[in-house]
Structure 1
């Protein structure tokens, strides 16, 4: 917005080279070459403590931790090694560890480096195609089409709301009005705009003098039946203003008024009880049920200059006490122009939340007294200018937004838009139960993952076995549930438009995984031609660790298999590496190495016979690990 509306409505890296193995690293390297990564870590760390570490040792430490999926330590040592490295693969792995630890921005920075190093690499091209695996501001631009409205003038035009077929806007186009000194434009008035059958607009019509005065009038909202208008007006008209004792200048506030429809026009204008000559109230928006009014105010007790408030509308038309919408919505800066839609999504403009510049439009939802994540509406709704007075018809997905962005007709213009994709939040309620007793499990860890497999947030279930998450609707997610003494589970959560998505997760006792001769884990699959522990493998192996901790006499033989692609001798060696890496992961979790051994079978014992050909999924089934109990259980 231009100034007068602001007063009114806002009052390069060095090369990395591995040194040759030497007497200092010989012992650690031997463990590393044997895939004894836990011992390798101990020995490399001792070199660090003795001050005998160099880029080679840091890199080996990182690789050791990477292979046993200790992401925190792997991140630490990759960072240290990369102080003197220009190795693309190390940069890529560092990026993956950062992402695994929830450091998405830092991960993206490393991927940016990787793509410049290896622009033709498939990983680089895939990243460039979709660099933001979590919702980002600019991604929202796919959700709207937007165009400048044909009823804008060369003066300021903003707002806009339909009532009984007429569009009510605020405009400074009335040249018969006295100009406002701040920008030498006329004071603002409320106009109506009727639409022709072909969709074009008729000439804007000035509302009557019961609504408009010689001073400023602002945004408009209506009761559900359309017979009560709520609008902003300067307090000058009420002769209610303050005088500066030094300059004798007069300062008015913004007040809220309501008018009643009598016949075909508006009459009986009344000041609302929330007004005060000590502060402003403005930008009204009435809920679809007519029971609540939202507005902006700089009244004392807020979080910033202007905050978003709400108040009940009583049956007699009076208002209840104003309630601040809270710190999740309101910041130390400016929050204004609330609009509550028919599905109770609250849209508003802010300079305090992260945006593209100036005022940006944001949205959130209040569900059972809880405010969901505040999100930026993205481009083209938002720009690097001021973007405000957003409204939308949730049934037709059509709406209006105002902006002073470049390319408009006047200082502020109204833009019409069509929403193309959903823009909302879903409350996911996870209930964790004991499958045997059907009693709730308190203290279970429930983690939420996005569609890229990144952990977004983790919570602990309460005494009723509940953990709640706010997610964007239409987005598939995954929940991971871990509880001592129980078999951990992962549950897919399908994207939804519903306000709530209830997910019940039943956990079996961990003993259910113990069969007569084996531990019945989900298959431990490896990527093609790889032997490092993956996220999914770590999830399953942690169950084995839990069982072995509970039964300290248990001994396990981990047998690894490959698919039939590649030479038989190569597959034997590959499966042996996978078995040893699996064993090392379990040892890294505190299990005595005497209790677990590993063995590679290569392609000799396939789960799926691929002699006549197999698809990708069938080959993956053959790349697995099995866990044989080699000693009897003792409690």
Structure 2
């Protein structure tokens, strides 16, 4: 049902006249009237009676495409494309294949589309990055998505929450006659209560705004006094020119406004930029009330339907509608805009950008950004659209047909903090590029490691209300760790200032901070690695120097065991130095066990035991 407001399909879909004949007359008339359910039945009768041809196959495919019956559409597009077709047919075929998760087959059809329409923005995007799906799957999860109790067995979509009222569009009113496109009742605007416990109850139609035609979706001003919604031009007794073949007049989708009088809405009025030659729909009003975003196929649109905006002036007049341009719009369909509370972040649905299939939801910073796919689980291989978000309640709503019907899902943001780490020289303040920067969780697990850029920066996204640690290191500098305190975000900054290596070198020894080991273990710890990096730097600066590492244990355990343990620690130390590019002939190790304790004690404290578990570095040459 949402296709009505995606394709604005009151506009006549062209039929290839040369392929029509007396056999297809009944089916073509139903198709032209958007009565796709019955049209499919008539085309299938022709196939059963042996009167099928590529035209019939294509009409069957397009009818199923318009109803998003992807499996059936694929079946008939496969038959239709056995003969040469127009570029858009290959594109639609690819979209349906993606909707079934058949990406390799979809790419084959996209190649045909790109060959037939090389200047199309969708074709250019495909040629530049044909295998984009893995990058979409690798995107960080931004939201959790779950079904809601507000959905019915009919189409429900376009939910938007204002204060404690949820408005949405639905075909659930079974008492009204069905619309031929999907054999569902006409759409109405509904309002429900959003309760403090998160439940949604008491859904009922907004009778003052609904008509006997399609109504919705809706957007409401921040003060709750003005509503903008979509309905049909039948209300204004305005029609497109009569289609003689279909023997029908067609309504356009218009935008209407209404003002609240007490607890009810006043008489709706048509917006002045409506026109019987094109449609306007899916409004979204900015929270400052100054800009109305909407969908239209008006002249100068890039594709089938585009996202537009219009200024709402303080005196109640409107500016000239403006197209949002090719950063948002494609030759496909863009629809269902939603402008966030910050008045700059726009969410919208697109079938023309690179996505998982069908409609995907994207977001863009209108001040200076590029449109990005929201990734899974917001987007799927099916149609995902009408994404809205209430900033004060931190909850969003998504419309999707992933379950086979247009339903409303609840969206909960995953709380995340964008951490900016800047690595500098602690003495001079100089930016340090190409430093190794790791993010560790509160259990010391390394989440990721990246090199700092030319500005000394690394960015990580981490969970809210959780402590993290940043480890930074660079040749010539002492490695160090830096705490990332618990935060709800959205941003945090860590100044990772590294001290230049300044090591005490005597005639007989290189003096470092103790290279401590954990009890009964021989692996190099991160703290130990930071110290050993200093030794590596000294040896790189003095390429003739030869070092012997002496490893010691505490006094716990047997003499034999401690000698073996210290030998393992010595070997671990040597292997670490070699791994950093020092020739094996320049470093050797010897385990001393507990023969040379630094702290002579009986009994020993834990601190004294730790001091005895150490490594020392003697200059052999």
2:435 match: 445
Quote the Cα distance in structure 2 between the aligned partners of 1:492 and 1:486.
19
User: Do structure 1's residue 460 and structure 2's residue 463 form an aligned pair?
Assistant: no
* Aligned twin of 1:78: none
Tell me if the contact between 2:400 and 2:406 (Cα under 8 Å) persists in the aligned partners: yes
CA distance in 2, matches of 1:274, 1:466: 50
| RMSD (CA atoms) | 5.1
DSSP-derived class of the 2:560 partner: helix
- SS for the counterpart of 2:562 is helix
Partner of 2:285: 286
Name stretches of at least 5 consecutive residues in structure 2 with no aligned partner. Answer: 9-137
Distance apart, 1:190 and its partner CA: 1.8
Query: In structure 1, what is the equivalent of residue 568 of structure 2?
Result: 577
What is the SS of the residue equivalent to 2:566? helix
CA distance in 1, matches of 2:386, 2:416: 21
Structure 2 length-normalised TM: 0.60
Unaligned segments of structure 1, at least 5 residues:
12-133
How far residue 6 of structure 1 moved from its aligned partner, in angstroms, is 3.0
CA separation of 1:468/1:201 partners in 2, compared to 1, >3 Å: closer, same or farther?
Answer: closer
TM-score, normalisation: structure 1: 0.59
Relative to structure 1, the CA distance from residue 446 to residue 594 in structure 2 (aligned partners, 3 Å threshold; closer, same or farther) is: closer
Aligned-pair distance for 1:460?
0.8
Matched, 1:8 2:5: yes
* Contact 1:258-1:272 at 8 Å conserved across structures: no
Separation in structure 2 between the aligned mates of residue 300 and residue 563 of structure 1, nearest angstrom: 83
Following superposition of structure 1 onto structure 2, how do residues 235-634 of structure 1 map, counting pairs within 5 Å? 239=238, 241=240, 256-261=255-260, 264-267=264-267, 269-271=269-271, 282-291=281-290, 293=292, 318=318, 321-323=322-324, 326=327, 337-342=336-341, 369=368, 375-376=374-375, 378=377, 388-397=385-394, 400-404=397-401, 411-414=405-408, 423-437=414-428, 439-445=429-435, 447-449=437-439, 451=441, 452-455=445-448, 457-462=450-455, 465-511=456-502, 513-514=503-504, 517-520=509-512, 523=515, 525=517, 528-531=520-523, 540-562=531-553, 566-605=557-596, 624-629=614-619
The alpha carbon displacement at 1:505 in A equals 2.2
Match of 1:57 in 2: none
- Aligned match of 1:130: none
> Which residue number in structure 2 is paired with residue 187 of structure 1?
186
Check whether the contact 1:310–1:324 (CA below 8 A) recurs between aligned residues.
Answer: no
8 Å contact from structure 1 (residues 187, 215) kept in 2:
yes
Structure 2 Cα separation of the partners of residues 304 and 477 of structure 1: 46
Contact kept? 1:403, 1:412, Cα under 8 Å: yes
Report the more deviating stretch, 497-506 or 471-480.
471-480
Query: What CA distance in whole angstroms lies between the structure 2 residues aligned with 1:214 and 1:577?
Result: 84
Instruction: Using the TM superposition, name which of 217-226 and 282-291 deviates more.
Output: 282-291
User: Residue 37 of structure 1 aligns with which residue?
Assistant: none
Structure 1 residues 367, 275: closer, same or farther in 2, change over 3 A? same
Q: Return the offset for 1:251.
A: 7.6
Partners of 1:207 and 1:160 lie apart in 2 by: 17
1:14 matched to which residue of 2? none
* Closer, same or farther: CA 372–401 of 1 in aligned 2, 3 Å: closer
1:181, CA displacement in angstroms?
Answer: 0.9
Q: 3-state DSSP class of the match of 1:571? A: helix
Match of 2:538, SS state, is helix
In the alignment, the residues of structure 2 paired with residue 609 and residue 412 of structure 1 have an alpha-carbon distance, to the nearest angstrom, of 76
C-alpha distance 528-10 of structure 1, shift in aligned 2 (>3 A) = farther
Whether the 8 Å contact between 1:478 and 1:492 is mirrored in structure 2 is yes
Tell me which residue corresponds to 1:148: 149
Q: Judging changes above 3 Å, is the alpha-carbon distance between structure 1 residues 235 and 375 closer, same or farther for their aligned structure 2 residues?
A: same
The answer (yes or no) to whether the contact 2:439–2:447 under 8 Å persists in 1 is: yes
The 1:630–1:261 alpha-carbon spacing in structure 2 relative to 1, beyond 3 Å, is: farther
